[in-house]
Structure 1
Amino acid sequence: MTTNNTNNPRYLAVKTLEKVSDGAYSNLQISNVIDSTKMNEKDIRLFTNIVYGVIQHRLTFAYYIDVLVKHPHKLKQWVKELLYSAIYQMQYLDKVPNRAIFNESIKIAKERGDDGTRRLVTAVLHKIDRNGVPEISHRLSDLEKQSISASVPVWLIQQLNNQVGKQKNKSILSTINQAANQSIRVNLKKTNLEELQAQLSDLGFEVRKSEVAADALVVSNGVAAHTDLFKQGFYTIQDESAMLPVQSMDINSSDVILDTCAAPGGKTTQIAEQLDDGFVVAVDLHENKLPKIIKNAVRMGLDQNVKVKAMDATNVNDEFSDEFFDKILVDAPCSGLGLIRRKPEIKYEKQLKDVTDLSKIQSEILDAVAPKLKVNGQLVYSTCTILNQENSKVVKQFLETHPNFESIKVKTKNNLKPNENSDYLKVFPDDYGSDGFYIAGFKRVK
């Protein structure tokens, strides 16, 4: 007799993990499942926890299965995901008893597979229960051991060791598999920080002020996107680090501002919030993403100050006259390696070649938008990655080829890292528990 798996968080987690392993984005798949099922808040938390947890530790769990199963390459993908999800629960979820993990996992194995699959899953889980997970072989190199234990590809570990040093990299790797904070940005056109903090507390959320970004709160014990306050536009969901590029801009209420690569519009609305008779032009290469920018702006009551246009940011020359904008934000397309905590599949998908290719696109965008900035105007360049190839090297090249621009010190409202010698600001995932981000500022001097 089969059970109803429509709202079973463990069953749904395995299905979601299958899709992610096939190339789907984890955050979008999770949102789709939550919106299309009737799980309660407790089950939503378990489902989300399992999905992210398995993806974060995928290389580690794959190593365990390679040791525990005689022919691991013959396993169907869903069986691997089922085993990974069971191991994750056994290793990391202290409040979930093993009998519940065993019963649910074996039930899923029986319903989705055959009796042989059920016996294999049962045997593997009982073996782990008796002996623990396998130790990582001492015959592997230090890099390979670190790759397996942190579940990060060798190439990325090597790059970070070279760029930030082994000690700093060890600190980064120790934090990137932790759960990402749920942070929100207050819409100051509708409310203020203290009032919203009190309202969310009344709804049962645990709330604290962000140490990273101004006008931001870190919330837990609930889903912030499911409240009436969110639907009414009193706040938006945004990582603390992602708020910093716009907070570093010296925006006047009448400015005309270009936001390149703008979707889904978090920074667009952040800019629009500071405008009265000015406006922000949000451009994005993908026309199908523009409605989401408008939807966010409408929800927050900011659509009067937002214009959207589908276009390649490297082709702004065809659309806007020179010296048209007071400020320009280039939140550039990047490898996203600063978002590993939030989108853990990124670390498996990207290769060093991707980083190199993206750095060329980033430079092309900066080259294209530079003439569109007014003299004495401010250009802010940001990425959600932590590798120099997409950050400081792009900035160095831009300054060398654009003598009419000069670097300016990036300042944030919370005065982060005031003793840094460089003009740019780099936030690593282990610094504050937020996303990894890079921000550089320029002034056009002639």
Structure 2
Amino acid sequence: MTKNENPRYVAAKTLQAVFFKGAYSHLALDEQLKNHQLSAVDQRFVTEVVYGTIKRLNTIDYLLNGVMKNKVHKSDQRIQVILRMAVYQMFYLDRIPERAAIHEAVELSKQWGRVGLKGLINGVLRSLSRQGLPDFSSITPSSKRIAIETSHPEWLVKRWINAYGEEETRRLCTTNSERGKTTIRVNLRVTTVDAVQAELFEEGIETVKGELTKESLIVTKGVVTKSAAFKEGRLSIQDESSMLVARALNPKPSMKMLDTCAAPGGKTMHAAELMNDEGEIIANDVHAHKKRLIEKEANRLQLSIVHATTEDAVILAKTYQDVRFDRILVDAPCSGLGVLRSKPDIKWNTDEKEIRKLPALQLDILNTASKLLKDDGVLVYSTCTILPEENEHVVQEFLKNNEDFTLDESLQERIKIQSENQGYTTILPHQYGSDGFFICAMKKGSARHGNEN
């Protein structure tokens, strides 16, 4: 088998790019799959090994360090990759016998120019095979135990324990380490959920209905992006938690809406569908290349009311100083720590110090956007993170400084998520099997603003 045909070599090259070259996992994987000729079965195997190894990295390194004389991170780059992906196959892929994973790791070391270290690889992996998975329950403190057992940075586990308690944190971390799922949003403007489900079934794609929104389907078999329904705009890929954001906005036909940080455009398009493609949506993003993504998606869905713009969100009040919107969405830049199942490299690449800078930016965008809202309009603030300092703390600071805004207590009626806090909610990954998300709706009062419109 040549390198181009060996799925483990393709997985190894992808992981090397992620671990040592700062590549995003999905981009590195796409590039490698394009550059190598693999069957559909092997492509699925590579995807599983890449994402699984990244998700379980902390646990894998803990296991390796228990049997290696020197820490695994001090090893040669290629050896690190070979060992890590082999351990993932040994303990987390049921269909791969341990002896096969060890044999293939040794073969890969020879193919990848590390033949002299095949004895090291064989010895380390056989030691782990004899030892098996250890009992993590003896690890203390609890933050370290959860971090190692579920593979998360301990600093992040500590933050979540402080916010949600130990048991809730353990559950959300466990869910983060599980395999992600593909969820689709049916375009109810042009079809029905039942019709799309039947159409996909005819193409060999199996789905079940979602739990959080009436337009959602969860894919259980098949690749939905290859379907006619996707290509012809009858559905989109979007997580259920993310779908709730447009529902929180409650957009109506003929309204004028602003999405301040719109790319890649999923929430914008959902809102346009709910508006029956009647009205106007300004879909703004700071990056020019992302403007093109928004336009491409609007074209695929045949939505004419979406107008993509390129602007820094913190100066939108100046750009639209003579315009007022019925609905404004601030889906703010955030740490992304609610989407770790689909983007596991985030947890290893996130700098705790950088997170501390985000609330100021989020608040700045929120303050700017709020100036453009009509009286009695709705302002929605959302993030795909589950850190309180990026969510409710930002909202609380905004409300303290903007007395003409109040929490929209009718939010729960629209999104059907019960929360102790009327007007905003945090969705944790384990609660519904969806992404971690924060959604807040606020209304602007009209009493103090005369005839402003």
Percent identity between the two aligned chains = 38
Structure 1 residues 159 and 366, CA gap change in structure 2 (3 angstroms): same
Q: Point out the more displaced range, 347-356 or 253-262.
A: 347-356
| 1:217 CA drift (Å) | 0.3
| 1:229 CA drift (Å) | 2.3
Q: Point out the more displaced range, 178-187 or 314-323.
A: 314-323
Structure 1 residues 318 and 240, CA gap change in structure 2 (3 angstroms): same
3-state SS of the aligned residue for 1:359? helix
Structure 1 residues 42 and 188, CA gap change in structure 2 (3 angstroms): same
1:70 aligns with 2:69: yes
Distance 1:113 1:207 in 2: 44
Q: Point out the more displaced range, 96-105 or 227-236.
A: 96-105
Q: Point out the more displaced range, 373-382 or 313-322.
A: 313-322
3-state SS of the aligned residue for 2:66? helix
Q: Deviation per CA, 1:52-82: give whole Å up to 9, x if none.
A: 1111111111122222222234412222121
Distance 1:222 1:306 in 2: 30
1:197 aligns with 2:215: no
| 1:254 CA drift (Å) | 0.7
Residue in structure 2 matched with residue 280 of structure 1 by the alignment: 281
Q: Deviation per CA, 1:215-267: give whole Å up to 9, x if none.
A: 01000222222223212222111111111111112211111111111111111
3-state SS of the aligned residue for 2:252? coil
Q: Point out the more displaced range, 250-259 or 123-132.
A: 123-132
Distance 1:365 1:175 in 2: 31
Q: Deviation per CA, 1:184-216: give whole Å up to 9, x if none.
A: 111223321000011112222221111022201
Q: Check whether the contact 2:244–2:415 (CA below 8 A) recurs between aligned residues.
A: no
1:330 aligns with 2:330: yes
Structure 1 residues 34 and 221, CA gap change in structure 2 (3 angstroms): farther
Structure 1 residues 32 and 139, CA gap change in structure 2 (3 angstroms): closer
Residue in structure 1 matched with residue 103 of structure 2 by the alignment: 103
| 1:323 CA drift (Å) | 4.9
Q: Check whether the contact 2:146–2:170 (CA below 8 A) recurs between aligned residues.
A: no
Trace 1:94-133 onto structure 2 (pairs within 5 A): 94-133=94-133
Residue in structure 1 matched with residue 451 of structure 2 by the alignment: none
Structure 2: gaps (5+ residues): 447-453
Distance 1:115 1:270 in 2: 53
Structure 1 residues 169 and 73, CA gap change in structure 2 (3 angstroms): closer
Amino acid at match of 2:18: V
Q: Point out the more displaced range, 230-239 or 344-353.
A: 344-353
Distance 1:208 1:413 in 2: 22
Residue in structure 1 matched with residue 14 of structure 2 by the alignment: 16
Structure 1 residues 286 and 132, CA gap change in structure 2 (3 angstroms): same
Q: Check whether the contact 1:61–1:84 (CA below 8 A) recurs between aligned residues.
A: yes
3-state SS of the aligned residue for 1:273? helix
**TM-score computed with the length of structure 2 as normaliser:** 0.93
| 1:99 CA drift (Å) | 3.8
CA RMSD of aligned residues (A): 1.9
Amino acid at match of 2:373: L
Q: Point out the more displaced range, 395-404 or 346-355.
A: 346-355
Structure 1 residues 9 and 227, CA gap change in structure 2 (3 angstroms): farther
**TM-score computed with the length of structure 1 as normaliser:** 0.94
Structure 1 residues 227 and 78, CA gap change in structure 2 (3 angstroms): farther
Distance 2:86 2:413 in 1: 43
Trace 1:353-392 onto structure 2 (pairs within 5 A): 353-392=353-392
Residue in structure 2 matched with residue 393 of structure 1 by the alignment: 393
Q: Check whether the contact 2:250–2:414 (CA below 8 A) recurs between aligned residues.
A: no
Q: Check whether the contact 1:314–1:368 (CA below 8 A) recurs between aligned residues.
A: yes
Amino acid at match of 2:295: I
1:416 aligns with 2:405: no
Structure 1 residues 33 and 279, CA gap change in structure 2 (3 angstroms): farther
| 1:137 CA drift (Å) | 9.9
Q: Point out the more displaced range, 52-61 or 105-114.
A: 105-114
1:445 aligns with 2:445: yes
| 1:143 CA drift (Å) | 2.7
Q: Point out the more displaced range, 84-93 or 106-115.
A: 106-115
Structure 1 residues 90 and 297, CA gap change in structure 2 (3 angstroms): same
3-state SS of the aligned residue for 1:126? helix
Trace 1:13-162 onto structure 2 (pairs within 5 A): 13-21=11-19, 22-71=21-70, 72-133=72-133, 141-162=141-162
Distance 1:217 1:35 in 2: 28
Distance 2:445 2:132 in 1: 63
Residue in structure 2 matched with residue 290 of structure 1 by the alignment: 291
Structure 1: gaps (5+ residues): none
| 1:314 CA drift (Å) | 0.4
